[in-house]
Structure 1
Amino acid sequence: MPETERTTTFDPYAYLKRIGWDGERRADPATLRGLHTAHARTIPFENLDPVRGVVPSLAPDDITAKLVHSRRGGYCYEHNTLFAGVLETLGFRVTRLAARVVVGADRFESRPRTHMTLLVEVPGDPRPHLADVGYGTIRALLEPVPLVTGAEFHAEGRRHRLVHAPDAGPLETWVLEAHGPDGADGADGWEAQYAFTLEPYAQSDFEVANWYVGAHPRSPFRRRPYLQNLTPDRHLLLDGHRLTETHTDGTVTTRELTDERDARRLVEERFEIDVPDGVLLLG
């Protein structure tokens, strides 16, 4: 990305304290993997600003105040903008990519490019890596994966692979697939998560997409709370009124939330998110 388009001014030291990282601070594969996993387990995914009618700011100072210095999280543009900026201060080269979330889609092109993901180059490693700390599902990457096809990647029970989409257009299209439990859609349990090409997108492109996702009345992030919190032992998801807890042994429990006060307490204690004024979780 040209230097004139880099607007990130993130403080890596405050960020590393936020995610509890006390390892090396250098541009190598181990640091990239460690930061990726620590971020995923520390900073929650949440859309409470769009739910209350506020489009999240992508300005570095605003993202830092929200995700680093507060008990808040964010969605893909906030998470991956923050992660990219920190990686660049540590010496990684990062290309911001725009992806189509294609879960359940019959045709990839029917979905707009509303997801931000990252291509990271590590000094001394000829293979770029796909990194993504802002894909808010249980099938998200826990670690970055090399940009190669024909390989399967495992990380703490999660399985991913990259494939090429046939006849997807003039540019080579990559697809991140995740392997789900028995009965999942897709051949042999593999399900496409999102599709992307490798041309870089500028900050101005993501400002437009962020406004659409955060403000358009048809955006799912405007209509109901969607929160995710991950620990080494379990994945916690609040989707509207439904709370789902998935443990590493495969045990899944769900329940419907019916009381606003109890829902707020749960979000603040278990998701570690301070609910902003103006949000009705069960409204």
Structure 2
Amino acid sequence: MSELTEYLARIGHTGPVRPGLATLQALHRAHVRAIPFEALDVQLGLVPSMEREAIFDKLVRRRRGGWCYEMNGLFGWALEQIGFTVTRVSCGVMQHVGGEARAGTHLALLVEADGGTWLADVGFGSSLGEPLPLVVAEHALLPFTVALSQPGDAQWRYTEYENPDGFSFDFSAAPADEALLAAKCRWQATAPQSNFVQNFVAQRRVGDSRIALRGKVLSEVGPSGRSSRELIDAGEFVAVLRGSFGIDEPRAASLWPKIEARHVEFLAEQAA
């Protein structure tokens, strides 16, 4: 079995496999529903690899999830194997707030299909359910409204409106600075200030809804609204990872004291 065949089986894609918009859309939808966004390795003190072979082993053969560098790294490789032209682009999450220091904190893809350029991103917390044409426009993609805008010359901004202020990343259409991406990948995996070091996160699309586990809070947002609850102990934490996200990792139980402590700290920060 070829590695591409293994990947297609992992995401459950059984349709046509040829370059074209219909294939791109189908693969994108399948990937975000089959493979969760998660940064468990960072919480376990590991630095996720950006090497394609390691990513393939983790996400496909070991059936784990990953963060943007892994998710879009794998997806971009698969698209190229099929015959798509893919450009890896370096993005800055909330760069309009944090400035140039945010550059390289996210990896996305630009893909050529049916005469157009499409933003493909299976690694932004599983929020983007399908690729977007690279034009200024707003799209209703349940459970979110998303938009592409151009805040400056040759600069693009993707915004996901899960809340009124939106959550965004900025990018240009130029090929990514791979050294910058690698450096920011390591920083986000090791720096005490990194959100991924401070907080556990896993997210996954289920139909038109997205489920998320942030620390000990399990939430779901969908067409009918939002719901959330707190997990009670390490056993439930491991069970939810397995049952809701497909992450079978018993070592996660060791994180529970840190997750509880961070929850108390977060509540105190909010109160202050």
Q: TM-score range by the shorter chain?
A: 0.7 to 0.9
What CA distance in whole angstroms lies between the structure 2 residues aligned with 1:114 and 1:28? 29
What CA distance in whole angstroms lies between the structure 2 residues aligned with 1:275 and 1:129? 35
Look up the SS of the partner of 1:282 in the other structure: helix
Relative to its length, the structure with more strand (as a share) is: 2
Partner of 1:78: 70
Alpha carbons 1:235, 1:247 under 8 Å: kept? yes
What CA distance in whole angstroms lies between the structure 2 residues aligned with 1:194 and 1:119? 14
RMSD: 2.0
Matching of residue 67 in structure 1 with residue 59 in structure 2: yes
Aligned 1:95-110 pairs, distance under 5 A: 95-102=87-94, 106=97, 108-109=99-100
Q: Cα distance, 1:202 vs. partner?
A: 4.7
What CA distance in whole angstroms lies between the structure 2 residues aligned with 1:132 and 1:97? 10
Q: 1:128 aligns with which of 106, 110, 117?
A: 117
Partner of 2:154: 172
Partner of 2:12: 20
CA shift digits 1:41-95 (9 cap, x unpaired) = 0100111111011001122221111101123100000000000000001110111
Matching of residue 253 in structure 1 with residue 233 in structure 2: no
Q: 1:212 aligns with which of 178, 187, 209?
A: 187
Partner of 1:231: 206
Aligned 1:181-192 pairs, distance under 5 A: 184-185=164-165, 191=166
Alpha carbons 2:89, 2:107 under 8 Å: kept? yes
Change (3 A) 1:67 1:196: same
Look up the SS of the partner of 1:99 in the other structure: strand
CA shift digits 1:201-220 (9 cap, x unpaired) = 15443222211111122111
What CA distance in whole angstroms lies between the structure 2 residues aligned with 1:278 and 1:249? 31
Partner of 2:144: 158
Q: Cα distance, 1:282 vs. partner?
A: 2.2
Look up the SS of the partner of 2:245 in the other structure: coil
Q: State, as a whole percentage, how many aligned pairs show the same letter.
A: 36
Change (3 A) 1:279 1:173: farther
Look up the SS of the partner of 2:256 in the other structure: coil
Alpha carbons 2:234, 2:253 under 8 Å: kept? no
Alpha carbons 1:214, 1:221 under 8 Å: kept? yes
Q: Cα distance, 1:108 vs. partner?
A: 4.4
Q: Which deviates the most, 157-166 or 68-77? A: 157-166
Q: Cα distance, 1:257 vs. partner?
A: 1.9
Partner of 1:6: none
TM-score by structure 2 length? 0.87
Runs (5+) with no aligned partner, structure 1: 1-9, 186-190
Counterpart amino acid of residue 190 in structure 2: A
Matching of residue 194 in structure 1 with residue 169 in structure 2: yes
Counterpart amino acid of residue 62 in structure 1: A
What CA distance in whole angstroms lies between the structure 1 residues aligned with 2:58 and 2:223? 29
Aligned 1:26-65 pairs, distance under 5 A: 26-65=18-57
Q: Cα distance, 1:110 vs. partner?
A: 5.5
Alpha carbons 1:264, 1:281 under 8 Å: kept? no
What CA distance in whole angstroms lies between the structure 2 residues aligned with 1:230 and 1:78? 17
Look up the SS of the partner of 2:45 in the other structure: coil
Q: Cα distance, 1:243 vs. partner?
A: 1.2
Look up the SS of the partner of 2:25 in the other structure: helix
Alpha carbons 1:48, 1:275 under 8 Å: kept? no
Change (3 A) 1:107 1:218: closer
Look up the SS of the partner of 1:265 in the other structure: helix
Q: Cα distance, 1:279 vs. partner?
A: 5.6
Change (3 A) 1:281 1:235: farther
What is the total number of aligned residue pairs between the two structures?
256
Q: Cα distance, 1:142 vs. partner?
A: 0.8
Alpha carbons 2:238, 2:253 under 8 Å: kept? no
Change (3 A) 1:198 1:223: same
Change (3 A) 1:67 1:276: farther
Runs (5+) with no aligned partner, structure 2: 258-272
Change (3 A) 1:220 1:192: closer
What CA distance in whole angstroms lies between the structure 1 residues aligned with 2:154 and 2:32? 29
